[in-house]
Structure 1
């Protein structure tokens, strides 16, 4: 459904019953939050029967005078459909709601958004069907208690159509990506040289098996290269392999910014319904970048499998910190996710100014302890 068709059907009769699960104070008081204890899991939602989750709102804050840095990377959200034992969603909470780097920022897209204050109100409007139950679990790896507020708004139905696919989301990170050294090489050769005729070594956004359609991703880059040379991070082509096809895939792109529907090495921040740049990076494209592309009007269909990849720099030359969250719908059972990275490997690396070799060494020792 797009924004126009959603508005045009608003007056039509609808089936089902509207329900909500929230963190409201069951005593009638004002303690309208759950407490996430350090290094604990809590089930916030366990819906029986059939229906659709229509909207999720969440926010959180330290429960006390603490400053929990990178809190959005320390909290994990998992979702399970139809009594499955393996989650269909497993993502750090900030990344799930559209932005990486363990930070929040106001932005708006059609289905995901972070709202004031300072992007700390998380909203998701992806429809999430279920036939025999929906369960949401939150895990905290924060070092202090966290106040956690939420709404899960859903529709209860007697049954849902058999052809309804299940919603999935998966987080990935590679820090640093497996590139080449920029020492003793001409900068033009480093940025633009060589040929990639296989797709091997590309950063993998999603690899799934089954029948379904990919509906997009958010994509986060921390440019770890300290140089005064041309330092554009985004010369990599997107390559999406459908149903086991070989290179060149039927969906082969022309550059990172092109896949995200922008152009000419952009840094201007912009948010549209289906693509945007939430963080544009710093001087010479240094620092942290966050962007998104949602295939709502143009989902990418697969019958047996899909592998969504993108080069990290042309010919996979660059060694940056890349993370992403992929969103898709598919039949069950899904390919079981590999275990999510431990906390120490999820946390962002430090910023790398000023530019010098000592700082770079500290960054890479942090990323690879």
Structure 2
């Protein structure tokens, strides 16, 4: 983590928001039109005239378009829960044609089920009621462009602020990538998080939105990291799903069952239980940030997780669960092999 006491000559802080769309010095609060122009009509410029934007149905807007070098240090965002899965957040580094980040807004902030769950972690904080905060460092050498696409057939209002340092030396920095994949249902009890990534870098974060489609315990499967030419077998192999997220013994505290927790680097922050009617399945949200323990690779990366439960005779049961993953890693290139852009049907919360 950075030393906040260190002086950095030549580095200045800028912030892009609907109140200052360019982040330019002295240009904040000058709007004369915007989503707050009605409430502020008696007060005029400087009084919250443009606190948010409206993204048209099936439209895309720029959150920030910045010339570098620089580093995004904080993103704050909020929108109605209805939009958490239908808005796609993208980031393009250094003029790359393909996005390094392409993730539903809700999943990027650990809210894949379209329901609020508190997250109190070092890199992502989500606070009542849907205040999304990212502290993932996002370095760039020439430019950064953040966009949001609205895949829904209705407009969406979004509040946001993107804060960045301008003038930093990022010659030795990797580019942040975030990829979203969903297996619904999982095939052959295996869900892929990352595949086909080449180059040098470090894997830094996992979020899983896990929907259970059978009775019993569902988390016997192992997380596996295939590094730098690994074939059938990985270099890093965990011992179970709950173990990877820092828990143990089914996340089950005797007498109270599944027990939520949120810590700086890992957590089971969301537990959705059946209601006896339409909410028939158990669903979970889990995260692990490899900030203190990044997984470094020199030339290639592949990551997957098994979906295993139990069957009679103390035998593993391959599962057909619904798993959506957000995987984060830094890479020495601004673009990488990535999954296809998800469709609205693939994003639907079922």
Fold similarity call, TM over 0.5:
yes
Q: 2:199 aligns with which of 188, 191, 210?
A: 210
CA displacement, residues 141-161 of structure 1 (integer Å, 9 cap, x when unaligned): 22322211111000110x524
In the other structure, the counterpart of 1:101 is 113
Task: State the match for 2:158 in structure 1.
Answer: 148
What CA deviation, in whole Å up to 9, does each residue of 1:29-59 have, x standing for no partner? Answer: 5231111111111112100121100000011
Q: Which residue of 2 aligns with 1:271?
A: 262
Structure 2: how far apart are the matches of 1:333 and 1:281?
A: 37
The equivalent residue for 1:287 is 282
Distance 1:131 1:247, change over 3 A: same
1:10 maps to 2:22: no
The answer to whether the 8 Å contact 1:213/1:330 transfers is: yes
| 2:179/2:339 contact within 8 Å kept | no
User: Which structure: greater helix fraction?
Assistant: 1
Shift of 1:341: 1.7
Using the size of structure 2 for normalisation, the TM-score is: 0.83
* Contact in 2 for aligned 1:52/1:129 (Cα 8 Å): yes
Deviation at 1:247, TM superposition (A): 3.8
| CA-CA distance at 1:333 after TM superposition | 4.7
Q: Which runs of 5+ in 1 are unaligned?
A: 62-67, 180-200, 350-369
1:134 to 106, 126, 144: 144
Equivalent residue, structure 1, for 2:53: 34
Once residues 347 and 56 of structure 1 are traced to their aligned partners in structure 2, the CA distance between those partners, rounded to angstroms, is 25
1:53 alignment partner, one of 66, 72, 86: 72
Deviation of 1:281 after TM superposition, in Å, equals: 4.3
Q: Compute the RMSD of aligned alpha carbons.
A: 1.8
Task: Check conservation: 1:88, 1:334, Cα contact below 8 A.
Answer: yes
Separation of aligned partners in 2, 1:82 and 1:12:
27
Could you say which residue in structure 2 is the equivalent of 1:168?
Answer: 177
Is 1:324 aligned to 2:325, yes or no? yes
1:33/1:149 contact within 8 Å kept? yes
SS in 2 for 1:326: strand
CA positional deviation for 1:206: 1.5
Separation of aligned partners in 2, 1:204 and 1:97: 20
Give the secondary structure class of the aligned counterpart of 2:84: helix
1:45 and 1:280 map into 2 onto residues whose CA distance is 34
Tell me the equivalent position of 2:16.
Answer: 21
Please give the secondary structure, in 2, of the residue aligned with 1:73: coil
SS at match of 2:219: coil
CA contact (8 A) 2:59 2:151 kept: yes
The 3 A distance-change label for structure 1 pair 144 and 240 is same
Change (3 A) 1:128 1:261: same
How far 1:286 moved relative to its partner?
4.7
1:301 aligns with 2:296: yes
Counterpart-to-counterpart distance in 1, 2:53 and 2:266: 33
- Counterpart-to-counterpart distance in 2, 1:247 and 1:42: 42
1:106 positional shift: 2.0
Distance across 1 between alignment mates of 2:192 and 2:202: 17
3-state SS in 1 of match to 2:249: coil
What 5-or-longer segments of structure 2 have no aligned partner? 20-28, 33-44, 252-257, 275-279, 310-315
Give, in whole Å, the separation in 2 of the partners of 1:281 and 1:103. Answer: 9
**Aligned residue number for residue 221 of structure 1:** 210
